[in-house]
Amino acid sequence: MALTDAELARYHADGYLVMSQLVIPERMQRLSAEVDGLHEQMQQHEPDGVGVAWEQFPDQRPPRIRQLMNSERVCPMVDAISRDDALLSVLAQVIGPDVLLFHSKLMMKAAHDGSFTPWHQDWGYWRQHCEAPSQVNCMLAIDAATEANGCIRFVPGSHKQGPLDHSSFDSSSFNIGLPGDLDAYDAVPVALQPGDAVIFGPLVIHGSAPNTSPSHRRANTFAFDRVSNRNPDLPPDRLRLGQYGAPAAVYASIV
Ligand SMILES: O=C(O)CCC(=O)C(=O)O
């Protein structure tokens, strides 16, 4: 799989690009089955190396997972998709030949209870871990994402402003953001079907509304980066593609 010149140009112009049916239905069904029941499972036991941020409620409703960091440790299909040739060949077009998985997280946005995501640039979060905004994020829809259940929204071309200052938000997950409510920007809601993905750069402004609908809006975001951007705290098993793609020893020697 490869992006055409026109698709690459659109990615660079808008800061994001939708890729329809990136992952085949059989894999999506397996992923959906792996994610079913995670709210309850993670309440029983949160494995080492996995970070869960919860939606907490003042009433008797059980807590819901808002985001689950390092989802490849919980879902084998997430790990498999992060190594998918079609996905990695697209990333190589944007990032270059050496690609690592910077992180992978489940965004659970549960029916009725999933909270909003403030406007932000991913670089606002990542700047403390990396030298340059060279990452590409990829949001893969597990459920259909619509305006009703809080699909992601992008401000096309907003990456061209460069890095912006973010301020603090009171949240266990998205704790910094840009000021403004859902109407603050002329943003494009991106509806996705299961198996569709949207790739986006670290400087494009994006956010999403809460999920007040009866339908879950589960998605996994895979953030990739080039190896030379150096993330010295990353374990070597995050390597995905290129001359450093397999042997951990090589990676260890460059960090
Ligand atoms: O879940 C969402 O709607 C937004 C996710 C997001 O902004 C992110 O992972 O950077």
Atom of ligand 1 nearest to the CA of 152: 3
Structural domains in the chain (count): 1
Residue 46 inside a domain? The answer is no
pLDDT band at 150 (very low <50, low <70, confident <90, very high): very high
| 44 C-alpha to ligand 1 centroid (Å) | 26
Give the pocket of ligand 1 (CB within 6 Å).
Answer: 107, 109, 117, 122, 152, 206, 208, 221
List b or e across 52-65, with b for residues whose CB sees 16 or more CB atoms inside 10 angstroms.
bbbbeeeeeeeebb
Residue 167 inside a domain? The answer is yes
| CATH code, 118 | 2.60.120.620
Atom of ligand 1 nearest to the CA of 67: 1
State the Cα–Cα distance between residues 220 and 217, nearest whole angstrom: 10
Q: pLDDT tens digit string along 73-98?
A: 999 999 999 999 999 999 999 999 98
Query: Per the structure block, which two tokens stand in for 128?
Result: 């403390």
* pLDDT of 30 over the 90 cut: yes
pTM of the prediction? Answer: 0.94
Q: Please check whether residue 203 is in contact with residue 123, taking contact to mean a CB–CB distance below 8 angstroms.
A: yes
* pLDDT of 173 over the 90 cut: no
Q: Of 251 and 7, which is predicted with more confidence? A: 7
| 250 C-alpha to ligand 1 centroid (Å) | 32
| 151 C-alpha to ligand 1 centroid (Å) | 9
Residue with tokens 């953001």: 177
Burial class (CB in 10 A: 0-12, 13-18, 19+), 186: exposed
Q: How many CB atoms lie within 10 A of CB 183?
A: 7
pLDDT at res. 243: 62
* pLDDT of 249 over the 70 cut: no
Please, what is the average pLDDT of the chain? 92
| 152 C-alpha to ligand 1 centroid (Å) | 7
Largest CA distance in the chain: 53
Q: Residue 135 is part of which domain span?
A: 5-38+51-254
pLDDT at res. 250: 40
